[in-house]
Structure formats: structure tokens, C-alpha cells
Structure 1
Amino acid sequence: MRALARKGKSAVVRLYRGYNRRKVQQAPPPSTRQVRILLLHAHGMGGTIRTVFNLAGYLAREHDVEIVSVLKEAEEPFFPIDPRVKFRFLDDRLRPSPDPLRAVLSKMPSRIIPKEESAYHRFNLWTDLKLARYIRSLDSGVLIATRPGLNLAIAQLALPSVITIGQEHVALRTQAEAIQDLIKWRYRRLDALVTLTKADLRDYRETLPKKPKKLIRIPNAVPPMTGDVAKLDAKVAIAIGRMTRIKGFHRLITAWQTVAAAHPDWKLRIFGAGPQEEVLAQQIVEAGLEGKVELPGPTSDVGAELEKASIFVLSSRHEGFPMTILEAMAKGLAIVSFNSPHGPREMISDEVDGLLVKPRTNANLAASIIRVIEDERLRRDLAARALETAHGYDVDAVGQKWDALLAELLARRTGTYVRPERPSAETPSPEAPPAPAPQAEVSPEEASR
């Protein structure tokens, strides 16, 4: 029976590969004219969504850009978007369909997205069907995915004629072990993998037994914001993020008890929403911080709120590449952040354009905030240098890196790519591209890995 099953599986694999070859032969020439970006829910309010909108707006200058959202759970996008960018939604959950197949499949768990993926509960067999149909419908252009589950899906399902790019917003080491195992086997099929930090780039280089054709770090760019730089005369500290345990707002509130005792005229505002919101509100009451710590909810105008503050605080346990730090820098705020090798440590030079605090030390966080409050010269110096740092993340500067990546991937497909000369030993380049790996075909057998 086992031998028969193996023969049957081999036959399926041969048919699958043959189908792929026929589709590729019929596909148009390689092109980067059309760029599609896969998101979980484009009308949400997360940092990944904001950065994707920013990238899409830049690429829309020269490309036909479409954001493909797996889910639609709100009528309008939370963040502003360039009108040249198109939208497509695979599963519109605002308008229930009478389709009996949808009703049945929506109750069944996903088979494409790994159970260990943080957004696994948002997927089901119906979203699997819609996602697989969409990916398999593409025969050219560029397809960019933006989270591990979607990166794994396009590596598994996209035709070899499609240029595939995985973009990672969360550090490899924070992923579940099962996710990391899948990444090791499937990411080699991507044309490129883009990380946000140098630390994460090093981790992928050391971890992946076989690399994508291109492994590169491209940070996020500063998004456009309203208003001007902060005047630094407001006695306000600000924090922004989804209200989940990992963001550490409970630690920040605890630290603020010490800050409020020393400086009762200063106020903390935490913008965002999420499952921890009620817990945090209760913590504020129990700590006697009503009127001193505010939870105004989410805001679509981040720039306006940052402009009203003087200090930005990041209390997350760990981060990939926190856009909130970049936005605060661009607004000229003094920044106090827990130290993290995959984000804040790369973005902030301690005592230069911000203060880095040992993670999960509430007392140290409070002491650093108090130091910035009491030392106005330090506060203004940190803010001025943060503003200078933000210039290096200008949308055009970062966008040019994406232009160069797309041009290189197209040249590799058309056979016109010329490998740059290797740098000398005296000037090593941490981001020199690895040797190109052959394009691997996708099979149902490999997909089970």
C-alpha cells in the first residue's frame, strides 16, 4: 500500500510540474510593470499596513500597483493611500455571501497557513481557496508578500514565471520553531527576501541552508505626515501601538507611576486599540493615574499627535523595525526606548539621537524618562539629532533601493544581470548578494514540509 501511495504521489508531482511548465511557456515575458502586494487586511491600522501603503505609493510612480488584501473588514482604509494604487479583496467579510460552499469552508481551519502563524485564526479553508486561486492566476509581474504565512504561500504556490519577494516585518528569532523550519525549506524558492534590519539579515544568512536569489535589507521609509516638527514645549510623552501584551504598555504605565510622582505636571498619552485596552484602562485606575495617563484610542493622523508631544517612549518587548520610532524622529521628538537588537538598537545611537534602556526594567525606563524631562538641553539635543537621523530614511532614498532590487530581479530573469565585483578584504560589504540559487519548482510533496 505504501509503495502504491508513493507512486500515486509521484504521479501527482509529475502532473503538477508539467502543468507549471506549460503555464510558464504560455506566460508573457518577465516584467516588473505590474506589482501586487499581499496583505492580511488592508483596511486595518497596523504598522505593516502603514509601511506597505507608503511603499505602494512610491512604486505607483513607475509601476501599476495593486494591494491585494486577504480580508475586507472595514469599508475604508484607516490610513491615507495614493489614489494611483488599486485594491483587491479576496474575502469580503462585510457582505456575507449566500454561497453554500463559502458557508461550509469558512468553518474549517486553514491548511495553507501554519497553525503557529500569529494570524492563523484569521484564515480558514475559504480564504485558502481564494488565496490559492489568486496566486495561481498570476503568470507574470511581481508578487510581494508581507508576513510569514503569506510569504510561505507564494513560495509554495506561485508560478516560476512570477517574480516573488518575501518581506519580513518580524525578526526570524521571534518566530515559532515550526515556522522557522518551513522558512528554511520554502524561502529558497523566492526570488528575493527583504528584511528590515541588519541583525535579521544576518540571522537569515546564517539560518537558511539554501538562499533565495537575493537576500537584502531595505528599511522602511518615513511616511508622509501632517504638520511641522514638535516645539518640545508640551509636557507630554507619547506612545503609539496596538494594545497587545508584546507592546509592553503595562510596563510603561507602571514606570509612569514613578514619573508622575516626580513630575505630576507631565502627561502620558498612549494611542492605539487592541485586546489589552480594558486591562490597561483598569491598571491606570488602580495605579491612581487618572488624568495623568490617557488612552485616546487609535489615530489616523499620527503626525498631528506627535507634534503635540516632547518625548516618545517605546516599551515593546521586541520589535522588527518600529515605524513609530521613525515617525517620532521625523517629528523631532526625544526618544526613550527599550533596547532591542532587531530594531531600536539599529535605529537609535544611544545618548546621541535617543536613549536605549535595558529591556523589561520598569525602574530604568522611568529613570530615563525623568532624565529627559529634567534635562532640557539633553531633550533638545536628542530631538535635533533624531531629526537628522530621520533624513536617512526619506521615502525617495529608500524607494531607490526597491527600484534597484526590482531592476536586478528582472535582469536575472532576462539573463542580462551582471554580478558586481566582489569588494576587497579591506572594505567588506555586509549586504553583498549571495550566489544565485537555481529556481526551484514547487510540488505538493515539498509543500508538506
Structure 2
Amino acid sequence: MKISFLLHHAYGVGGTIRTVFNLAGALADRHDVEIASVFRYREWTKFHLGPEIRLTPLTDMRVGGDAERPLHSRPARSYPASDGRYVQHSRLTENRIKAWLAHTDADVVIGTRPGLNVLLARFAPQHVVRIGQEHLTHNSYRFALRTQLRHCYPQLDALVTVTEADAEIYRQHMPRVRVTAIPNSVPAPTVELSSGTAPLVVAAGRLVPGKRFDQLVDAFAGVVSERPDWRLQIYGDGPERNTIQARIDHHALNDHVKLMGTHTPMDAQWASASLAAVSSSGESFGMTIVEAMRCGLPVISTNCPLGPAEIIHHGSDGLLIPVNDPTAMAQALLSLINDNQARRQMAHAARDNARCFDPHHISARYEALFTELLHARSAARQGWGRRLSAARTEVIFVLTERLFRALNRS
């Protein structure tokens, strides 16, 4: 079958880009796969994309490209204004998306963020199986966006979340939507796995408030007081860098805690450590958890909503601790730092348990969903009932969009 992904842009290093590339690569072993990137910002993608996958940029934002066209200065009308990426869209970008959808010969099209899922639901031709992916969480969206999704998502054939917990929330709020949970995929590491002997803890992620790296630094101060031979490296960048560095300075930990900047891929960095730590107050999934486990690291993570508890088996391949509790983090780290045997056992379990996130296992679950939805296509489903439902959706969307924009102007 032919499968197409509709992606905001394919040229960065975000988690959505990475997981779409992983899934596309696994599906391309057996299917014709395309990634349509709404925006193009540079010549080459940051992540490797195999030659068997066709990359189709819809607008070129490089110098001398589509950014200079008059339509790009006009605000979008169909892309929902409540989506966080709305300001990057224009009449030009939404026209390009609509044209691509109108002419696609794909059997299945997968949208990868709410605004794109809305356009997919509203404008994809009837022969296309429409699947929306949610890489964030229902409760992280503003009320205005959740309202519009509730009216548009029933036009999708299925909605895929990355955790069962989030899927259940969508089922409660959108009972007319077919919702299934399929986690993100993470390929096997390309380096030798961790030996588990280095006195090093690694953490990674955007340096933003929700990751609570400041609390991880506080916790590590407690670790160093007992085990000054251990170090912490934090990979990533973002607006909280100075705040985190201030915490390091406050605890006089500059010899023990380092901010390492962004590094992609992270396999070698994970494998150089013996433990991984996650201090977030919320996670939509937990890609770094799976990456670390695949490299042979037990993970100590906050039991935050929604992802970690669906990945970590507490006491087997890692530890789950309360959110916003640096003391609990320090105690959990020390419990494995001081117990070499327990650390080795958890490392072995982490390697084994994380194999279920291999792209080929995850792609098989998607293939089963594609096949089921394609078989479900029938004259009745494509007939007047669906068309009337789509017409009703259009009326509701237009009215709510006008309301939200009016409220924003007031």
C-alpha cells in the first residue's frame, strides 16, 4: 500500500520528526512511503532518511523561496487559529496542503499534529484512510483547540495516541472517534551498550520548565554528598539553561554537573553512562526513557503523566518516584549507585523490555490498523451519511473559528 505522512516540517530535530522518520523507515521495507513536509527550511534533513522514502516539501522557506510570495503574508483561514503553529501558516501553506491532499494517490495519510489533522479530516478525498497522530496530550491543548478537535476528529478514520492513558482521555471527551494507542518507536542503538561501570548519570531533553532539571540538580547535590565520585551530564538546550546553571553554581557542583548542549543522536552518550534520570512534571510519551533503556540503562523517572509508567516496570528495569520530590530522586539514584548487582539486573531487564519499542514491532501494529481500516471501507461508509457528517463538521468548524478569532481580537 502507499502511506503518506503529513508533517509540519522534516528538517529539524524534534521528537515528532524523529519518531515519524523511525516509523516511515520501518514501513518502507514493505510499502511505498512518502513524507510531505509543509515547510522546508534547509537543504538537508537533520535525521537520516533512507532513499526509499520520498520527501515532498510543500513550501520552501529558504531565501528566494515561497516566503516572499504575496499569499504567504495573508493569514490562514482553514488552519485552526487555536493551534500553536498557526502563526507559521498562511493562505499559501494551507492552499498547498489542500492541493496535495486533493491529488494524493496514497491509500493512507497520517497527520502528525492537531492543525494538520483538522485539514486532513476536512479536505482529504473520500478514498483516503485518514489517521491523526497525537504526539502531545489532550489536556495540554487550550480549550478552544479541544473544542474544534471534538467536532473535526470524528471525520478521521482513527486517532492514534502514544499512551493508553491519553487514549482513554480522548475516548471520554470524543466518544465518536475511533482512538487507539500505539507508542513511539525507537531503533536499536548503533553503538556498544553500556557496561554499567562508569560513575555517570545522563539526562536529556529541552531545557524548559516542565523538564524540571533544576530539581534534578538539587537531587544530585544529595547524591554528591554521599558519592562524590559520580557525575551528572544534562544534554539539551533551551530557555532554562541559565536557571539550571544557577542551581549548579548554588550547590557548587560545577565539577560534578555539566550542561552538555544538544547532541543528536544520543546513543553514544547514553551508552557512556550507567544510569539515566528523568525529572519531568509531565511527558506525552518518554522517548529519552526508551532510548536510554535500549542502550542498557536503568531509568529513574518521576511518575508524571502520562508516559513513564507505561514504559518503566518499577523495580524491574527502573524506578518511578513522585513528581517534584528531589529528595526521592536522590534516594532512588543512590539506591542503584550503591548496589552494583541491582543496577546490573535492571540494566539487563531494560535492554530486554525496551525491544518492544523497536520500529518493526511498532510498524506491525500500524500495518494491522491500516489493513483493518482499508477493509472497513464500504459504499455505506463513503455514502451520504459520511458526507452529511462532513458538511455538519464544516458548519461547526467555520462558526467556532469565527468565534475564537473574534474573542482573540477583543
TM-score (norm 2): 0.89
Give the 5 Å matches for 1:37-436: 37-97=5-65, 102=69, 104-138=70-104, 140-212=106-178, 215-413=179-377
CA distance in 2, matches of 1:305, 1:99: 38
Give me the CA root mean square deviation: 2.4
Q: 1:317 to 1:107 in 2, by over 3 A?
A: farther
C-alpha distance 98-370 of structure 1, shift in aligned 2 (>3 A): closer
Pick which of 122-131 and 157-166 moved more.
122-131
**Secondary structure of 2:48's partner?**
coil
Segment drifting more, 199-208 vs 240-249: 240-249
- Write the letter of the residue equivalent to 1:241: G
Give the Å deviation of 1:347: 1.0
Q: CA deviation at 1:316?
A: 1.6
Is the deviation greater in 297-306 or in 115-124? 115-124
Deviates more, 1:248-257 or 1:381-390: 248-257
Alignment partners' CA distance in 1, 2:245 and 2:38: 32
Corresponding letter in the other structure for 1:234: A
Instruction: Quote the offset at 1:398 in angstroms.
Output: 1.8
Q: CA deviation at 1:132?
A: 2.9
Tell me if the contact between 2:148 and 2:397 (Cα under 8 Å) persists in the aligned partners.
no
- The residue identity in structure 2 corresponding to 1:84 is E
Per-residue deviation, residues 295-339 of structure 1 (Å, max 9, x unmatched): 222222221111101111112211121111111111110110010
Task: Structure 2: give runs of 5+ residues left out of the alignment.
Answer: 401-410
Q: Does the alignment pair 1:441 with 2:407?
A: no
Q: CA–CA distance in 1 between the matches of 2:61 and 2:40?
A: 6
Write out per-residue CA displacement over residues 396-420 of structure 1, whole angstroms, 9 at most, x where no aligned residue: 2222111111111111125799xxx
Query: Residues 198, 60 of structure 1: CA spacing in aligned structure 2 closer, same or farther, 3 A cutoff?
Result: same
TM-aligned CA distance change 1:106 to 1:248, over 3 Å: farther
The 3-state SS of whatever aligns with 1:36 is: strand
The answer (yes or no) to whether the contact 1:184–1:209 under 8 Å persists in 2 is: no
d(CA) in 2 for partners of 1:367 and 1:70? 46
Query: 1:105, 1:271 → 2: CA distance?
Result: 40
For the 8 Å contact 2:16–2:135, the answer to whether it is kept is: yes
Deviations 1:29-58 (A, max 9, x none): xxxx22111112212111111111110001
The question of whether the paired residues in 2 share the 8 Å contact of 1:243 and 1:275 is answered with yes
- Give the distance between the partners of 1:341 and 1:99, measured in 2 at CA: 39
SS state at 1:441 partner: helix
CA shift at 1:235, angstroms?
Answer: 1.0
Distance in structure 1 (CA, Å) of the matches to 2:366 and 2:67:
41
Following the alignment from structure 1 to structure 2, what is the Cα–Cα distance between the partners of residues 166 and 98? 27
Contact 2:23 2:362 in 1 (8 A): no
For each residue in 1:152-208, what CA deviation from the matched residue of structure 2 results, as whole angstroms up to 9, or x when unmatched?
A: 221122122221100111221222222211121111000111111111121122111
Name the CA shift for 1:383/1:414 in 2 (closer, same or farther; >3 Å).
same
Contact residue 188 and residue 294 of structure 2 kept, 8 A: no
Shift of 1:130: 2.6
C-alpha separation between the residues in 2 aligned to 1:169 and 1:98? 28
What is the letter of the counterpart of residue 396 of structure 2? E
Q: Is the 8 A contact 1:218 1:401 kept in 2?
A: yes
What is the distance in 2 between the residues matched to 1:180 and 1:99?
A: 30
**Cα 1:260/1:195, change in 2 over 3 Å:** same
Which letter maps to 1:325?
I
Q: Is the 8 A contact 1:54 1:221 kept in 2?
A: yes
- Taking a change above 3 Å as real, the CA distance of residues 116 and 367 of structure 1, as seen in their structure-2 partners, is farther
Aligned position for 2:406: none
Greater mean deviation of Cα atoms: 439-448 or 402-411:
439-448
Conservation of the 8 A alpha-carbon contact between 1:156 and 1:447? no
Structure 1 residues 134 and 286, CA gap change in structure 2 (3 angstroms): farther
Structure 2 SS opposite 1:91? strand
- Cα offset for 1:282? 4.2
- Superposition deviation, residue 377 in structure 1: 2.0
The structural deviation recorded for 1:250 is 2.3
CA deviation after TM superposition for structure 1 residue 113, in Å: 3.7
Q: CA deviation at 1:140?
A: 4.6
